[in-house]
Structures are given as C-alpha cells and as structure tokens.
Amino acid sequence: MKQIALLTLVASAAMVGCSSYDTPNHGKNVSMEPAHNFLGIVKVEPGSYSAIHSSTVRLKTDDFYSRRANSGDRVTLLWGAITLTDY
C-alpha cells in the first residue's frame, strides 16, 4: 500500500512540473507557438510581451546585440531568478 501511494505521489509530481501552454498575450504579430516549462528551471514563452517582475534579474537581448525586429520571447531561468527578454 505504501509503495502505491509513493508511486502515485512521484508520478503526479513529475507530471505537474512540465507543461506546454499558449501565452495569453496575443497581438497582431505575436507568435502562436506554445510556451514550454521544464520544472521551473527553464521556462520559454514565445511572443509573450508581458511585464517583468521587479524581483528578477532582467537581461535584454539588446544588451548583447542590436537588431530591428524583436520577437517578444521571454526565457525565465531558475524559477524566475533570471529573465531574458527579446522586447
């Protein structure tokens, strides 16, 4: 009985950590690609253009190189500690 309970707990924890969903912020030129989340360690939101929390370290792609067209993608690392944005 304990083994079944432990197996159920481990399986549900493993399935909750990963998700694939679409972003709620769709504009005229926003990508309709699904977002991906791997246990909160890496979270990718294509075409997000959403606000950034003040408790994160924000890195912009403009800091590394400049280009004309921004994709609006957002990559969050380590449960929101570091956020890389392309907007």
The string of pLDDT tens digits covering residues 25-81 is: 555 445 555 667 777 788 888 777 777 878 888 888 777 777 777 777 888 888 888
Stretch 7-27: mean pLDDT:
61
CA distance readout (Å), 7 to 15, 35, 63: 12, 28, 46
Map out the domains of the chain as residue ranges: 18-85
